A = this chain, B = another copy of it.
Amino acid sequence: MSKSSDRVGDACCPPGALLHEPLSAVAAADMAVKLKALADPVRLQLFSAIASHAGGEACVCDISVDIEVSQPTISHHLKVLRDAGLLTSQRRASWVYYAVVPEALASLAVLLGATSAHAAAGVPA
């Protein structure tokens, strides 16, 4: 592990950080967890379906219609996204509702080159 201290910080990064300075090992490890969770076609579709749903949250009942995998598989993928800090979940009555964590997505967008202001806007209302 690199011990350099003059690299992109551990918690947050300036816009386009990936392009401007070598990432620290700690920042790279943190980002890799989130990228790995998103690096699956079904999880990307699920994440996108939740993020674009009215109010920025959705239950499995809302999103399973358009994604052709079984509900247990969907639940597994949602758990991976939640464990990576990309989604939160909340049980209401019979359903668990999932919502995107705007800061998590913003940190990835900023890393990859977004303006911080735009990325910080996160999920649309």
Q: Hey, which bits of chain A sit against chain B, CB under 8 A?
A: 1-2, 4, 8, 15-23, 25, 28-29, 31-32, 35-36, 38-42, 44-45, 47-49, 51-52, 66-68, 100, 105-106, 108-109, 112-115, 118-119, 121-124
Contacts and interface: CB of A to CB of B under 8 A. Distances in A.
**When A and B form their complex, which 10 residue pairs have the shortest distance between CB atoms, in order from nearest?**
A114-B114, A35-B39, A36-B39, A109-B112, A109-B113, A28-B44, A28-B41, A23-B48, A29-B41, A19-B51
B68 A44 contact: no
Interface of A is mostly: helix
A48 to B, nearest CB: 4
Contacts of A115: 114-115, 118
A44 B66 contact: no
B20 A44 contact: no
B1 A18 contact: no
Copies of this protein in the complex = 2
Contacts of A100: 19
Contacts of A1: 68
B112 A67 contact: no
A21 B109 contact: no
Given A2-B67, A16-B118, A36-B36, 16 more contacts: A2-B45, A8-B48, A18-B48, A19-B123, A22-B66, A25-B41, A32-B38, A36-B39, A38-B39, A109-B109, A109-B114, A112-B112, A113-B121, A114-B114, A114-B119, A115-B115
